[in-house]
Amino acid sequence: MNLEHIKKTDPVVAEQIELELKRQQETIELIASENCTSLAVMEAAGSVLTNKYAEGKPHKRYYNGCEHIDVIEEICQKRACELFGMDHANVQPHSGAQANMAVFMATMKPGDRVLSMDLSNGGHLSHGSPVNFSGMYFDVKSYGINEYGEIDYEDVRKMALEHKPKLIICGASNYSKIIDFKKFREIADEVGALLLADIAHIAGLVAAGLHPSPAPYCDFVTTTTHKSLRGPRGGIIMCKEEYAQAIDKAVFPGMQGGPLEHIIAAKAVALLEASKPEFKDYAAQIIKNAKALAQGLMDEGLDIVGGMTENHLMTLDLRKTGKTGKDMANVLEVVGITANKNTVPNDPQSPFVTSGIRLGTPAVTTRGFKEEDMTEVAKIIAGAIYASDNEQALKNLRERSMKLCKKHPLYAE
């Protein structure tokens, strides 16, 4: 990667960028919400578009000089609608959480009731956590998962009938099963609720046709662009045409000012990449790799919440090992694997400690890992957990993870 200008201007920051590149190259990235963009996406994100203010919508800007910006943003909107089968797209949200905030602003008033998945069971902070805007300003009721790690749709229906929410949210940050959007639509219709699908984690799988689409059933679909979709860090809101004006107003001026047009260009590039046949092959390999990892971990005697995964992620349940998610995530980092601590259902530990580790395969699949590589990764993870206090054993495991990193180089050109 060429950093010649940064090195001249700010060698301190340049050094940290180079060190971060080295860390990524020498680490097996299993954080489920991370991925490695193409160089084309990075070029767009680092382009001259960062210089331009463009408050408003295409052809309705508050600044002059937006003729090229308008074309790029419209391309991005069109690609999002075509890829996900929705009527309207607003590509300006800076993040998935802000995309969700805009839907809240467009559809509800403070105090209105929401039904969403509990954070500790796999939901997301912006779906109603009491420390987030969604939980601070709205009356949130939460559903969870059953002993099999699955959503109990009849339980969701009973809660909807009891609480009569104005908005129901389906989608999660840590759910390893297929989401039945049709059942959620039926529940929403029964109680007269609007339906939001947050597909931030599974967007790439949906785009590739490897997970059922929410488009036929949901009033709103939000997503990040940087997880399985493999784009820049940002968010998108898609909706039925009847809600387009309300969503656009909620984004600007309701929620944020000038959009990041360089990031919108990078989103457009990523959406084009996701429409290609090669991306479908990539998404299929994500699932194959996740299944291989889950099976490998279970073969090593470890527990996976809900058993076999059906998408790109899983949660390793450490309770029977006597280890915590916090400690084992740190141990995994020692052996060259990055993952994040995560709660498990009915977790006896606090959210700051946890009894689980969330694992995902989008980033390693981008690097070219295949099923046999994931089996080796599972053995390294299990070895690190079982020998977490053995310095020599951890050193040997680090050598094995480095061998995999060298086998599948990142940004080698």
Pairing mode, if any, of strands 220-224 and 235-239? antiparallel
Q: Quick one: CA dihedral 128, 131, 134, 139, positive or negative?
A: positive
Q: Which entry of 52, 61, 185, 227 is annotated as an active-site residue? A: 227
Q: Quick one: CA dihedral 366, 371, 373, 379, positive or negative?
A: positive
Q: Which entry of 222, 223, 224, 354 is annotated as an active-site residue? A: 224
CA atoms within 13 A on the CB side of 62: 8
- DSSP code per residue over 114-163: EEEE-GGGT--GGGT-TTSHHHHHSEEEEE-B-TTS-B-HHHHHHHHHHH
Three-state DSSP class for 313? strand
Residue closest to 272 by CA, chosen among 230, 216, 335, 318: 230
Pairing mode, if any, of strands 56-57 and 194-198? unpaired
Residues 6+ apart with CB under 8 A from 20: none
Active site residue 198: yes
Q: Which entry of 57, 61, 185, 233 is annotated as an active-site residue? A: 233
Residue 181 host element (H or E) = helix 181-191
Alpha helices in 201-358 (DSSP H): 203-207, 244-249, 261-274, 277-299, 325-334
Q: Which entry of 26, 55, 180, 300 is annotated as an active-site residue? A: 55
Three-state DSSP class for 269? helix
Three-state DSSP class for 341? strand
Active site residue 55: yes
Active site residue 400: no
Q: Which entry of 29, 73, 118, 198 is annotated as an active-site residue? A: 198
Residue 69 burial (10 A CB sphere; 0-12, 13-18, 19+)? buried
CA distances from 381 to 2, 293, 357 (A): 34, 10, 11
Amino acid identity for residue 124 in this structure: H
Phi (first) and psi of residue 28, to 5 degrees: -85, 110
Active site residue 53: yes
How far is the C-alpha of 146 from the C-alpha of 314, rounded, in Å? 15
Q: Which entry of 7, 18, 34, 53 is annotated as an active-site residue? A: 53
CA diameter of the chain: 63
How many helices and strands in the chain, by DSSP H and E? 16, 15
Which residue numbers are catalytic? 53, 55, 198, 224, 227, 233
